[in-house]
Every structure is written in structure tokens, then in C-alpha cells.
Amino acid sequence: MPEFQTDVAIVGAGPAGLMLAHLLHNAGIDSVVIDNRSHDEIAHTHRAGILEAGSVRMLESAGVESRVHTEGHRHDGIDIRVNGTSHSFHFPDLIGDSVWLYPQNEIFVDLAAARARTGRPTYFSVTDTHLGDIESERPWVNATTAEGEDLQINARYIVGADGSRGPCRAMIPADTKQRFFHEYPFAWFGILCEAPPSHEVLIYSRSERGFALISQRSSDIQRMYFQTSPDTDVDVWTDEQIWAELQARVDGPDGFVLKTGPIIDKTVLPFRSAVTEPMQHGSLFLAGDSAHTVPPTGAKGLNLAFADVSVLAPALISALQGTGAEALAGYSQTATKRVWKAQNFSYQMTRMLHTDPSQDAFETKRSLGELNSILDSEHGRRYLAECYTGWPNG
């Protein structure tokens, strides 16, 4: 039976858990990482494709050999299209930074390879994960390995990077935590298709038929989304209907035409915002989706998880190395500041770009007024560019 005495037990081997494990390893700190999903399941779950510049710098400074520079693409801007008229944002001019287009599931593949090279233990496909004694200095995590063996991890700290449905968040006593939640009447219909890119930059389009996002993956695979109702059944939509809907949402006087091709994947993405505070209790710390979920507009999910880790890793390191536990005590307070900025931006982008079938005409006009306040103003554009490329830490 595998039994470990380690510094940090990390529940969740997604990008947040593995990035944290890597930063701890760089400081000579041991960890054991477990996940109930298999490596291939995580690698093949489609995620958003935009990395903030700070997320890429984090990978670089951590020495993770990521293919982001060889297979990803720097994007210096986006277009926001309103009823068929495009408004271009050039991030380097506006805010002096850029973003990178690189599928977030590929970040996982890069981080899992980096983890394997460290030789430290990672267990995928575990079942029956339990944790306990989180109010003590000797918390533990138990699980069953893929081979059916009992896995026992005794640690000084536990990090819950186990996503929105993992077991860690529930361990924070109900009377000490608050869950903030917002439901949206939207969902996205997401496709992957075999086609060349339709445009140099991503297009976020508001139209009377609803929102569409023309994103990219590579020179021959593209990712696109359109607003749909949450109960949509993707299988009743033919390729022709999907292309007609996407095209209708970007139609405009400039005659812009999408480049089409066979659709190779169709999924519905739900929309919700949630935050749990505080993101810590005793020896347990939450990072990423286990503590917060954002709607997909603006692609903040993984970037926010990395931002949590950028606060948590140095705090754990200084606590474990005996150079001070104040940063760890203040982790939630520090991290939630950015969490709420990202919630606000994701909410704002969603509300400005989508049309709500249930909303009154006032709200439709008001949200267009909000969007135009940004598009028509240098200050507004810089504000949006800063939110999109990511706020400086702190």
C-alpha cells in the first residue's frame, strides 16, 4: 500500500495542481498529486484557448517546457463586432501586453510531462478520495489507486485544486464559509472544425441573433461558439444549420464571410459564476475552480487558477521553510481580490455581448450603451485591454 509523508498533498492534477506542484518542486518542497480523472481524460477535455501574458510568463519563469511558444500564437488584439461592424483592439498599443492562443488542455499535457520529469508521485484515476484533520497540522488524504491499492498521504498542508465538483471545498465547515452564486440564462454551443482561420484575430460578435465567438486553434482547426439556450441538444443541429447560424451572427456591411469546413466536435458549455470564501480553512487551501467558476466569456478560468497559484506557492514555501506564515494566513484575502475582478470582467463581457431572450428592451439598450462607452473611448479600450490581458499581481 503506497503511504507518503509529504509537505503538500495536492488533490487535482489539472493545470492549477500541477503548476503548484512544479513551483513547490523548484523550491525543494515535496508533494503528492492525485486526480480522479485519467491523464487522457484531462488531456482531451476541451477548454478555452487564451492565456494571459502573465500565465505564459509564469510557465517560463517556472522553467516548464511548454510548447506555447512553438505551437501557440501570440495575439496582439481582438475584434469586437457589433451588429456587423468590427472594432479592433490592439493590446500592445493600449496596454503594452498581449495574450497567447494555446489550448489550455495542452498546458496540462506540458505540466504533466514536467511533473513526470521531477520523479515526484502523481496518481491519476484514483477513486474514493477522502481527506481529514484539516484543522490540525497533520491533515491526511486517502484514496484508492487505479490498481485498487489504498493510498495514504500524510501532509503538512492540503491543496484542493479539484475543480468545481471535487471533495475539498465541502471540507470547509458551512458556518465559516460563504458561497456566492450567479446563474445566467445563456450557454454556448461550441464547435471544433477543420477549416483555415477566418480572420487574424478572435472576433467577439454581438448581434441581434445573439453572441458568437470566432476563435482559433491552428492553421487547419478552428474553435467557434454561439450563444444558445442551456437545454440545447447539439445532435439535432446539422453542420449546415450551425454554419448558417454562425454566419448570421457575424454578417455585416463589410461582407465578412466565415471559412467553413467539417465540424468535428460539438458541445454545450454552461454559464455560471460562483465564489467560495474564504478559500482556506486550517491546513486546507483551495485553488482554481474548486473555489471559483467564471462563465467562459473572456477565458479567465485557467488564468485565474494560475493567479491563485502565484499567490499560494510562495506563501506555502515560506511557511514550510520557516520564513513566515503571514502570507499563507492572508492567502484567501489576497487571491479573492483578483477573483472578483475576473468575475466582474467575465460578467461584464457576457452581459455586453449577449442578448437575453427574457430581458426587457431597456436592458438590451443599456448593455449596448455600456459596450459603446468602452468602444468609443480610449480609456474604455485601455480598461478592456487591461482586463483581457490580465491585471498585474497585487
Active site residues: 75, 204, 296, 300, 388
Give residues 222-251 in contact with ligand DHB (rule: CB under 6 A): 223
Q: Which residue is nearest to ligand DHB (CB)?
A: 49
Q: Is 12 in the site for ligand DHB (CB under 6 A)?
A: no
H helices of the chain, where? Answer: 15-26, 39-43, 53-61, 68-71, 91-95, 104-118, 239-250, 301-320, 326-329, 331-353, 361-375, 378-389
Binding mask 190-209 for ligand DHB (x = CB under 6 A): ------------x-------
CB of 105 to ligand DHB, least distance (A): 10
For 67-84, the DSSP string reads THHHHSEEE-EEEEEETT
How near is the Cβ of 349 to ligand DHB at its closest, in Å?
Answer: 8
Which of the ranges 33-41, 44-52, 248-256, 373-381 carries the binding residues for ligand DHB, by CB under 6 A?
44-52
Q: How far apart are CA 247 and CA 264, in angstroms?
A: 18
Task: Provide the minimum distance between the beta carbon of 79 and ligand DHB in the complex, in angstroms, as a whole number.
Answer: 12
Nearer to ligand DHB, 334 or 350 (CB): 350
Question: Position 338: which residue type?
Answer: R
Do residues 89 and 76 touch, judged by C-beta distance below 8 A?
A: no
Instruction: Locate 378 and state its grid cell.
Output: 480610449
Closer CB to ligand DHB, 123 or 211, in the complex = 211
* Of 36, 66, 215, 350, the one binding ligand DHB by CB under 6 A: 215
Beta bridge partners of 11: 34, 160
Burial 296-310 (b: 16+ CB within 10 A, else e): bbbbbbbbbbbbbbb
Identify the burial level of 165 via C-beta atoms within 10 angstroms of its C-beta, where 0-12 means exposed, 13-18 middle and 19 or more buried. exposed
Residue with C-alpha cell 453572441?
211
Cell, residue 334: 489576497
Count of residues that interact with ligand DHB, criterion CB under 6 A: 11
- Among the candidate windows 171-179, 243-251, 290-298, 325-333, which touches ligand DHB by CB under 6 A? 290-298
Q: Is residue 49 close enough to count as binding ligand DHB by CB under 6 A?
A: yes
Check binding of 299 to ligand DHB (CB under 6 A).
yes
72 binds ligand DHB (CB under 6 A): no
Q: Residues interacting with ligand DHB, by CB under 6 A?
A: 48-50, 202, 213, 215, 223, 296-299
